Amino acid sequence: MKEFLISSAIWFLVVLPMVILSFFVVAILLFTPWNGTTTWFGNFKYGRGTTHYKAPTSGNRFKEWLFLCVRNPVSNFGKKVISVKDAPWVWLKNPQVLGPIYWKYGWKDAVPENDNLRTFVYRPWIMK
């Protein structure tokens, strides 16, 4: 329970304000030559989302904004800024909450594509 409360505090006090701020910052950045891979608001893997969607979105600022602010909000912030090296105090929990609903929270396992950092995660999901 302690880990859930700490993860919830991180999400509500740190991540959520950044997500709200991203709605405005990303809208401004999309009118510049920014490629979408840098800054806390970008996505280092998919940039502005143009390689994520099946149909090209290059130049469609609304689809790029949806990708960066709704589909993958503050991706670089979670993957770089509040990620951690593997440490004994980090956790990854995925308890069943109710029926098929689970709640994943803590830090994902380290992966080489993210410099072996553990990315912060906090989300409910449904297991099929």
pLDDT in tens, 20-33: 999 999 999 999 99
CA 103-20-91 angle, to 5 degrees, is: 30
DSSP-assigned letter for residue 75: H
Per-residue model confidence as pLDDT tens digits over 70-87: 888 999 998 889 899 888
Q: What is the pTM of this model?
A: 0.81
46 domain residue, yes or no: yes
Instruction: Note the pLDDT of residue 54.
Output: 59
Domain hosting 50: range is 2-77
Is residue 36 domain-resident?
A: yes
Q: Is residue 31 situated within a structural domain? A: yes
Q: Is residue 119 a part of any domain in this protein?
A: no
Q: Is residue 62 part of a domain?
A: yes
Residue 20: inside a domain: yes
Asked whether residue 21 is assigned to any structural domain, the reply reads yes
Q: What is the mean pLDDT of each run of 10 residues along the chain (128 residues)?
A: 90 94 95 91 86 65 89 89 86 83 88 87 83
Distance (Å, rounded) from C-alpha 51 to C-alpha 45?
A: 9
Number of domains making up the chain: 1
User: Would 7 be classed as within a structural domain?
Assistant: yes
Of the chain, the percentage scoring pLDDT greater than 90 comes to: 33
